[in-house]
Each structure stands twice: as structure tokens, then as C-alpha cells.
Structure 1
Amino acid sequence: MIISERQISKELAFYKALSSRFYLEEKDAKKLLVLERGYKGERIYDEVFDEEGHSSVFVFRDIYLRIGDSIVQYDAPIVSDAGITVNEIKNYSGFYRVERGKWYAGNFEVPDDPLAQLKHAMNKPLKLQYIHRLNFDIEGKVVFPHIDFRLNFDNQDVRERLVMRSELRDYLKRFSNEYAGRYAEPIAEAVSSHIIDNPFFDKSANFDSVRKGLYCGNCGGFEMIDNHFYMRCLDCGSREKKETHLLRAISDFRALFLDERMTKKKFLIFINYAVSHRTAQRMLNKYCECVVNGARTYYLFKHESFEEVYAKYESSYRYKDRKADIF
């Protein structure tokens, strides 16, 4: 049973949108690659778990918990009558080794020891026990979902705390034999009561610095021509509905500008007046909550990301997008 769905993080959404409309410095480009790789690994884990089934346990995905004075991020905790299972997901690829408790990728020591992170994450629920007067077991694994991850180790104890891609399906299948009943419910309620938004990310782009307009979802090009219901990319020939473009732009605006209110005028400037006022208004009404404030009326995106909405509604759209390799 899914308690909290996984969404693209605010940090990943920010860097993805920024990369489409601004030149990323090397450190930001590397940050985007790390975030994308991590999210891809989490989605692999989720897909396998969905296939195996999780209706008999409580499943949380990508949550931040404030427990006392500490804030901890969890990739995929699972609650059952047996207690809490903490799964830390690391989408590493290539050859790694563990020597004398230290992790190495090639000749470089990995700065964030996965097992140390797991131990830290497993320690925090101990305080939940004290705060909520509960008694439950805590166990955990580090999950490596990438098919090309390889690891050499000098201690069998290390191996027993890891789940490789080839073992993932069998590992997750075991939870179909667990149950979330009267013992699990108060544990899940305790976890839920401590969930907070990500407090560590507060970046915002400069509105005047980012590129304005609509861009191709296939190649990223901004050279678009209006084809009535569609916009056609002059670089690759892809054709996307205006609705797709405007939904992507609304999502970009939300991701990029922490301190900017999305008024109709501001949004039209953001898309470089690529569509009519009426079309823009219709999309804002459809995908946003309107906060009426006189002349300063603004709009709040009702969804977490472009990807979430597009996956949900694309099949019901009357007109379909078409990707192309050449024009």
C-alpha cells in the first residue's frame, strides 16, 4: 500500500528546467547528472516492487522526517507488523571495492559511505519508539539497482547488508508475505506525523536571466513554428501539442522561481508570448489553482511535475504528440 508516491524532487526539477533555459556551470551539470541517475535508480526499485506487489505493507517513498532536532531523508522505508525496513538506494555503476570498511571507485575513496548512511538512517527510528511509546524492530539494506554495478569486498558482513540488481526481485517479493495490521498502523501513523517538505533546497533562478519561449521536448530546440493545435520544431521536426508545451512551461516556472508568483502576465513573458492570451489563460485555469488577489491574481501549479501530469492525461488527449529524428 503506497502511503507517499515518489515524485521528481524539487532539486532535480530545478536543475532540469534550468538546463533547458540557461547554461549550466560544470558543477551544476554534474549535480544534474547525479540527481538524474539517483532518480532513475529509485524508479527501477519502485517498478520492481510494484510488479511484485506491496498491498500487504505500508510503503513510503522519498520522504523527509523531522525527528527531534534531526532531519533525515529516506528513499524507501517499508512498515509492517514486523517493524520498519529502511532501504537506501544507490544507483552506482561500474566497479567498486570495499577495503577495511572504506569504499572505493577505482582509486578514489567514495565520500559518502553507503553503509554509514544506512546505519544513520536506521538509528533515527529509535527515537520514534521513544516519542510514540512504540516497540518495533528496525532492519535495513543498501540496494544497488543498476545492472552494471560490481563490487569486491573483504568482509562477508558487508555483503549481507547489500541487495544487488539480480537479487532485487526476490528481496522485494518477501514483503508479500508480511502484513500491516494493528501493530503496523501506529508505526505508519508515527512516521507520517513526522514527514516534512525538503528543508534543504531553496534555490531560485533569476527571471531575467533564463531563456524565454517554448522548447522542443525531443531535442530542446527553441525554434518552433505554430501549426494550429501543434508547435513544430524546426531543428528535429517533432510535433507537440500546444497544451504539452504550456504544461511543460508551467512546470518549469514552478521549478525555477521560488520567489516569483506566476501571474498571467509573467507567464506570457516567460513563454515569450508564443500563444494567445486566451490559450494561456485556458491552460492556467486547467492545471493551476487561481489565487484571486485583485490585480495581483496569480496561479499555483496543482501538480508535482510535468511528468506526473503528462503520464496521467496524455492518453486521453484528442491530439497526440509526435517525436521525429529529422525535419
Structure 2
Amino acid sequence: MRKEALETQYLQVLQERVQLTTTEQAKFQRAQAGYQGECTFDRWSAELLTDCLDDVNLSYQGSRCQMDKLFVHGSDLYVIDVKNYNGAYSYQAGCWYYNGRVLAHNIFEQLTRAQDLLARCLSDQHVKLQVKSVLVFMDPRVQLDLTDPPAHIEIKSAADAYAWLVSLNQEKFAMVTPPWKQAVRHYEVPGYRPRQDLGDTPRRHYRHGIRCVHCGQFAMSQGRYAVTCQHCGTSEAKEHAYVRTICDYGVLFFKRDLRRRDLCEFFGEGYSERYLTFVLSKHFVSKGKRRARNFAYINKGIRFQYWFADKSDYFRKIQQRINWERQ
């Protein structure tokens, strides 16, 4: 499962609890569109390719880069950059333009830098593969006017990209693929995070409590084993709801460890500190001794579905029990 970028996760949870600024809203919409395009390309890759890595972040001699997808075909390692842009884009005299305005970032330069950095990583690990770059525009509504694009970067529409993957799938190679994934992972680092978390803007008020998974409201009533939305009637297993909300706190305050007093404030009035303590001790990893003054739990700063992906069966089963009890 492809994870949303850390910044996208932050903006997603942020917009559920505060009013986004105009800049944040635009950034979030772009991030969502990009993620959808990447997921579509992932589905094609799962159908037609077998040797891939997704959302790779590398650091090499002080330089960093992010790549949407890597895969090997024959003696070639492809760096795929997926864009889900729509609107009029042009490239002239080394600059990118959107609807006539110069873009702050150069797509070709970013992809070229990623290709060069990856080639150096492979060379240092003695992996002999030729690195190639492909830029894919997923939205059929995009309008491109590219004057003298770099010759080393292939540019494809969504339709062309799918046909290309089909053609690669039909080609068979007898050669043994070198251990390129191990070489790449030697330089892998966590993804980019925003510079600030919600704790850096203390005057920015947010909605407290558990958010309904169905309608997004915060009016929840608690029973022994479930919390129920007073707005739409949706019931969620209490344990699931508490863990999910703790993860939301972790995303918004990713610079902090998880501490009970901070989480009590995040949940707000009407929630059980005793049950919160139980959930923390059961599902989260502690830091230091429990009786220490600064005792806390490790904060991964990622959303529930990623943080507890290895416990998805457990949480699905406790939710099923709640649903059966309501029938």
C-alpha cells in the first residue's frame, strides 16, 4: 500500500480539525491529486510489473531526492515521476510555466538530479544498471507545450505510459537482476516533513475529541465498548476510536512524544483518562521508565492506517463485534 506523503497526512488531519489557510488548501488539493495519480500508476504496475519500489527517499553525500517509483527491466532501472497536473503547462528556455506564469520548481531538474543521485548510489554499491527517467502526466486534460525538453527524459501521457508498461511486460529476459533494492535501501531515509507542526502555532485553535469516521462530526457519546456519533448514528469500537485519535494527535504534533497529559487535552472533556492510559500501554511503545517524570510513548507521526497496518485484522475484528451487537 502506497503511503500518503507525510506532508499530505499532516494537511489531511489538519483540515479535519482547523480551517485551512488558502495556501494550505491549495497545497492539500495538489497533494491529493498527485496521490491519486500515483495510485492509478501503482495499479497498472501491480498488474504488469514485478520488481518495484514506491515513494523512495534517498540521501547521498548531503543531497536528497524523492522518487515516485523505481523498477528494473532488463539492464535498465527506471525512475518514474508521476504528475497528475491539469491546465496549460509549457517549457521554454529552461523554465516551466503554468498558464503563462513561471513555476518556482523545475520538474526536469528535479528528475535529472534524482537520476544522477541514484546512479551514484548504485555505482558505490557495485550494481551495474543503467538509470533512465520517465515523466508521466496522468490527467488527460493537461495541455503541454514543451520546447527542447531534455533528451534523457522520456515524457508520456497516461495512455502512452500504460501501453509502454504492457510492452515491457511482454518482453522476457533471461538475465539475473542484480540486488538493486538492497543497494537503494542502503541510502534510504524518511520522507520530507513540514517545517512546522501544530505545536509551532499555539494560538491556532483546533477541534478536540474523537472525530466520526463517517460524517466528520465531533459529537460522540461513549458506551462501554463503542463510541457513537450523535449526528449520524455511526458506531465505532471504542478501542479503535481512541487509537485512531491518538494517531491523529501524533500527525499534528509530530515533533512531540506522546504524553498522557497532552493527549487528555487533545481529547477534551468527556473522555476517560483511565481508558486512554490503558490504550497507550496496550498499543504504543514506551520511552524510558514508566515512573520517570518525562515518561512518554514513541510518536511515529503517521496516520492510523499506516501506523497499525500490521494490526489491521485485530481492529477489523473488534469493529465486527460492535456491528454484530447492533444487529
User: In which range does the TM-score fall when normalised by the shorter chain?
Assistant: 0.7 to 0.9
Instruction: Measure how far apart 1:162 and its partner are.
Output: 1.8
- For 1:320 and 1:168, locate their aligned partners in 2 and report how far apart those are by CA, in whole Å: 45
CA shift for structure 1 position 236: 4.2
Task: Name the counterpart of 2:303.
Answer: 305
- For 1:306, the aligned partner's letter is F
Q: 1:156 to 1:19 in 2, by over 3 A?
A: closer
Instruction: Note the alpha carbon deviations across 1:31-68, whole angstroms, 9 max, x for none.
Output: 2222222222222221221233x33x2x2211221122
- Cα deviation digits, residues 6-35 of structure 1 (max 9, x gap): 322222222222222233222222222222
Secondary structure, counterpart of 1:124 in structure 2: helix
Can you list the C-alpha shifts for 1:220-241, whole angstroms capped at 9, x where unaligned? 3222233554333344444433
Judging changes above 3 Å, is the alpha-carbon distance between structure 1 residues 29 and 156 closer, same or farther for their aligned structure 2 residues?
Answer: closer
The separation in 2 between residues aligned to 1:158 and 1:91, in whole angstroms, is 22
Q: Secondary structure at the match of 2:320?
A: coil
Q: By how many angstroms is 1:197 displaced?
A: 1.7
Aligned to 2:71: 78
Bigger mean CA deviation after superposition, 255-264 or 278-287: 278-287
For 2:187 and 2:144, locate their aligned partners in 1 and report how far apart those are by CA, in whole Å: 35
Match of 1:122 among 100, 108, 115: 115
- 27, 47, 72: which one aligns with 1:31: 27
Query: Cα distance, 1:165 vs. partner?
Result: 1.9
Report what 1:215 is aligned to.
211
Instruction: Check conservation: 1:74, 1:88, Cα contact below 8 A.
Output: yes
Distance 2:36 2:231 in 1: 28
2:260 maps to a residue whose letter is K
Q: Which residue of 1 aligns with 2:229?
A: 233
1 or 2 for the larger relative contact order (CA 8 Å, sep ≥6)? Answer: 1
How many residues end up aligned between the 2 structures?
313
How do 1:309-324 residues align onto structure 2 when only pairs under 5 Å count?
A: 309=308, 312-313=312-313, 315-316=316-317, 317-319=319-321
Shift of 1:318: 2.2
Distance 1:153 1:214 in 2: 49
Match of 1:190 among 176, 183, 187: 183
Q: Distance in 2 between matches of 1:249 and 1:179?
A: 49
1:240-279 matches, within 5 Å, as: 240-279=236-275
Q: 1:108 aligns with which of 86, 91, 101?
A: 101
Cα separation, 2, equivalents of 1:139 and 1:206:
42
How many angstroms does 1:152 deviate by?
4.4
Q: Is 2:145 aligned against 1:162?
A: no
Larger mean Cα displacement after TM superposition, 35-44 or 103-112: 103-112
Determine if contact 2:219/2:229 at 8 Å carries over to the other structure.
Answer: yes
Take 2:37 and 2:149, find their aligned partners in 1: how far apart are those partners? 25
| Cα displacement (A) at 1:90 | 0.9
Which residue, out of 123, 130, 133, partners 1:137? Answer: 130
CA–CA separation in structure 2 for the residues paired with 1:167 and 1:101: 25
* CA distance, structure 1, for counterparts of residue 28 and residue 93 of structure 2: 32
Q: 1:141 Cα shift?
A: 0.6
TM normalised by structure 2 equals 0.80
CA RMSD of aligned residues (A): 3.3
Match of 2:39 in 1: 43
**What are structure 2's unaligned runs of at least 5 residues?**
none
Q: Does the Cα contact within 8 Å between 2:122 and 2:184 map onto a contact in 1?
A: no
- The amino acid of 1:242's aligned partner reads K
| 1:6–1:61 Cα contact (<8 Å) kept | yes
Taking structure 1 as the reference length, the TM-score comes to 0.80
* Equivalent position amino acid for 2:68 in 1: D
- Alpha-carbon distance between aligned partners in 1 of 2:280 and 2:12, rounded to the nearest angstrom: 21
- Quick one: percent identity of the two aligned structures? 20
